[in-house]
Amino acid sequence: EDLRIAVVGAGMMGADHVGRITHRIAGARVSAIVEPDGGRAGAAAQYAPGSAAFANIEDAIAADAMDAVLIATPGQFHAPVLKPALDARLPILCEKPLTQDSASSLEILELEQQMGRPHIQVGFMRRFDAEYQALRKLVVSGESGELLMVRALHRNPSVPESYTNDMLITDSVVHEFDVVPWLAGSRVVSVEVKHPRRNSLAPERLSEPILVIMELENGVLVDVEMNVSVQFGYQVATEAVFERGIARIGQPSGLQRWDAGYFRVKDHESFVTRFAAAYDAQIQRWVDAVRRGDLIDGPNAWDGYLVALSCEAGVKALHGGGIVPVEAPERPAFYA
Ligand code: ISE
Q: Could you tell me which of 60, 47, 55, 53 has the C-alpha nearest to residue 21?
A: 47
Q: How far apart are CA 244 and CA 148, in angstroms?
A: 10
Q: Are residues 180 and 318 in the same domain?
A: yes
Residue 101: CB atoms within 10 Å: 18
CA of 182 to the centre of ligand 1 (A): 18
CA of 155 to the centre of ligand 1 (A): 9
Does the pTM exceed 0.80? yes
Q: Are residues 94 and 133 in the same domain?
A: no
Q: Are residues 183 and 91 in the same domain?
A: no
CA of 228 to the centre of ligand 1 (A): 9
Q: Are residues 149 and 268 in the same domain?
A: yes
Residue 80 and residue 107 in contact, taking contact as beta carbons nearer than 8 Å: no
Is residue 335 situated within a structural domain? no
Query: Which CATH number do you get for residue 45?
Result: 3.40.50.720
Q: Rounded to 10 degrees, what is the CA torsion of 17, 231, 208, 126? A: 30
Confidence of residue 253 (pLDDT cuts 50, 70, 90): confident
Residue 318 is given by DSSP the state: I
User: How many domains would you assign to the chain?
Assistant: 2
Q: Are residues 186 and 316 in the same domain?
A: yes
CA of 143 to the centre of ligand 1 (A): 32
Query: Which CATH number do you get for residue 222?
Result: 3.30.360.10
Confidence of residue 211 (pLDDT cuts 50, 70, 90): very high
Range of the domain at 57: 3-125+277-299
Q: Could you tell me which of 162, 159, 97, 129 has the C-alpha nearest to residue 310?
A: 97
The response to whether residue 192 sits with its C-beta less than 6 Å from ligand 1 reads no
Is residue 19 situated within a structural domain? yes
The DSSP bridge pattern shows strands 221-227 and 210-216 to be: antiparallel
Atom 2 of ligand 1, residue of closest alpha carbon? 171
CA of 271 to the centre of ligand 1 (A): 7
Give the C-alpha distances (Å, rounded to integers) separating 190 from 103, 172, 204, 323. 19, 18, 29, 6
Q: Are residues 189 and 290 in the same domain?
A: no
Q: Are residues 320 and 183 in the same domain?
A: yes
Atom 10 of ligand 1, residue of closest alpha carbon? 172
Is residue 336 situated within a structural domain? no
Q: Are residues 291 and 319 in the same domain?
A: no
The response to whether residue 119 sits with its C-beta less than 6 Å from ligand 1 reads no
Q: Which atom of ligand 1 sits closest to the CA of residue 159?
A: 12
Q: What is the pLDDT of residues 9-68, one digit of tens each?
A: 999 999 999 999 999 999 999 999 999 999 999 999 999 999 999 999 999 999 999 999
The response to whether residue 171 sits with its C-beta less than 6 Å from ligand 1 reads yes
Q: What is the pLDDT of residues 59-97, one digit of tens each?
A: 999 999 999 999 999 999 999 999 999 999 999 999 999
Is residue 334 situated within a structural domain? no
